[in-house]
Structure 1
Amino acid sequence: MTRDAADSLRPEAAGPIGAPGADGLVVRPMDDGDAEQVLAVYQAGLDGGQAGFETTAPSWRDFTAGRLAHLCFVAVDPGSGAVAGWVAASPVSSRCVYAGVVEHSVYVHPGHRGRGVGRLLLGALVAACEEAGIWTIQSGVFPGNTPSLRLHEAFGFRVVGVRERIGRHRGVWRDVVLLERRSTTVGT
Structure 2
Amino acid sequence: MLGVRAPDGGGVSLATRALVRADWSAVEAIYREGIATGHATFEAAPPTWEEFDAGKHPALRLVATLDGDVVGWAAGAPVSSRAVYRGVVEHSVYVAESAQGRGVGGLLLAALIVAADDDEVWTLQSGIFPENTASLRLHEQHGFRVVGRRERIGLMTYGPLAGRWRDTILVERRAPG
Relative to the length of structure 1, the TM-score reads 0.85
Which residue, 142, 152, 158 being the options, matches 2:145?
158
* Matching of residue 73 in structure 1 with residue 82 in structure 2: no
Q: Deviations over 1:132-173 (max 9, x none)?
A: 111110000000000000000011111111110011112111
How well do the aligned residues superpose, as a CA RMSD in angstroms? Answer: 1.3
Distance 1:19 1:56 in 2: 30
| Match of residue 93 from structure 1 | 80
Q: Tell me the SS of whatever aligns to 1:20.
A: strand
* Matching of residue 48 in structure 1 with residue 40 in structure 2: no
AA partner of residue 128 (structure 1): A
- Structure 1 unaligned spans of 5+: 1-16
| Match of residue 102 from structure 2 | 115
Query: Where in structure 2 are the equivalents of 1:121-132 lying within 5 Å?
Result: 121-132=108-119
Offset at residue 57 of structure 1 (A): 1.2
* Matching of residue 174 in structure 1 with residue 163 in structure 2: no
| Match of residue 18 from structure 1 | 2
Q: Tell me the SS of whatever aligns to 2:17.
A: strand
Offset at residue 22 of structure 1 (A): 7.7
Relative to the length of structure 2, the TM-score reads 0.90
Offset at residue 19 of structure 1 (A): 3.1
CA 1:21–1:109 in structure 2 vs 1: closer, same or farther (change >3 Å)?
farther
CA 1:22–1:83 in structure 2 vs 1: closer, same or farther (change >3 Å)?
farther
Distance 1:177 1:64 in 2: 26
Aligned residue pairs total 167
Which residue, 16, 19, 34 being the options, matches 2:23?
34
AA partner of residue 18 (structure 1): L
Distance 2:2 2:36 in 1: 31
AA partner of residue 3 (structure 2): A
Greater fraction strand: 2
Distance 1:22 1:32 in 2: 27
Q: Tell me the SS of whatever aligns to 1:68.
A: coil
Distance 1:153 1:106 in 2: 14
AA partner of residue 39 (structure 1): E
Structure 1: 4+ residue segments shifted above 4 A: none
Offset at residue 184 of structure 1 (A): 1.4
- Structure 2 unaligned spans of 5+: 8-12, 157-161
> Do 2:3 and 2:107's aligned partners in 1 also have CA atoms closer than 8 Å?
no
